[in-house]
Amino acid sequence: MNTHFTFKNLHQAYLDCRKRKSNSFYCQQFDENLEENLFALERELQGRTYKPGRSIAFIVQKPKIREIFAADFRDRVVHHLLFNYLSPIFERFFAHDSWACREGKGTHRAMFRLVEFVHKIERGRERGEIALCANLFILRWISKAFLPPLTSRFYTI
């Protein structure tokens, strides 16, 4: 049977999952019987009997009040397994300038790209290109509405 649910792939997903969680209680608990836990996940996934566990719900107040549902560590390993499998498939269909949750991208790089566009538009405005002036207005509005903490730290637009 050709499957992505192998011990090797689960182990890689586990390593990805624990990168910033190695000191957490739930990660250490999973580590205690690592091989047994990974083999059990492999059996459940291949046998199609896997069921996600309960999530922990809590409230975060910064930067704004919101409710968070944190998956059990075991489920997070499965999330990473699926991400590792699906990411290369979907990556080629994404627009170049979509920045969220992508390898080598993120908020800071999106901000740098925005600054590139703003400078390009300002050069166009100097040449009297009206359409570019409208775009500059829109980009400035976006940068002030959505990125004030970031743009004020690095650049003034």
Report the pLDDT value the prediction gives residue 135, as an integer from 0 to 100: 63
Residue 85 sits in the same domain as residue 115: no
**How far is CA 47 from each of CA 27, 34, 35, 81, 137, rounded to the nearest angstrom?**
25, 20, 18, 16, 56
Please give the residue range of the domain that contains residue 137.
Answer: 107-154
Residue 56 sits in the same domain as residue 129: no
Answer yes or no: is pLDDT of 150 > 90: no
Report the pLDDT value the prediction gives residue 102, as an integer from 0 to 100: 80
Report the pLDDT value the prediction gives residue 22, as an integer from 0 to 100: 79
- Measured CA to CA, the distance from residue 19 to residue 62 in angstroms comes to 23
Residue 68 sits in the same domain as residue 112: no
Report the pLDDT value the prediction gives residue 30, as an integer from 0 to 100: 94
Number of folded domains that form the chain: 2
Residue 84 sits in the same domain as residue 114: no
In a domain, 119, yes or no: yes
In a domain, 100, yes or no: no
In a domain, 45, yes or no: yes
Least confident of 39-48, 87-96, 97-106, 130-139: 130-139
State percent of the chain over pLDDT 90: 45
In a domain, 96, yes or no: no
Answer yes or no: is pLDDT of 133 > 80: no
In a domain, 80, yes or no: yes
Least confident of 25-29, 52-56, 78-82, 150-154: 150-154
Answer yes or no: is pLDDT of 98 > 70: yes
Q: How confident is the model at residue 108 (pLDDT cuts 50, 70, 90)?
A: confident
Select from 64, 91, 118 the last residue of a domain: 91
Q: Note whether 85 and 21 are within 8 A (CB).
A: no
Residue 28 sits in the same domain as residue 57: yes
Q: Note whether 11 and 37 are within 8 A (CB).
A: no
- Tell me the torsion sign for CA atoms 75, 78, 84, 89: negative
What does pLDDT average to over the chain?
82
pLDDT (tens digit, 9 = 90+) per residue, 26-70?
A: 999 999 999 999 999 999 999 999 999 999 999 999 888 999 999
Report the pLDDT value the prediction gives residue 151, as an integer from 0 to 100: 47
CB half-sphere exposure, 70, CA atoms < 13 A: 9
Report the pLDDT value the prediction gives residue 44, as an integer from 0 to 100: 96
Reading phi first (left if > 0) and then psi (alpha if -120 to 50, else beta), residue 95 is in beta
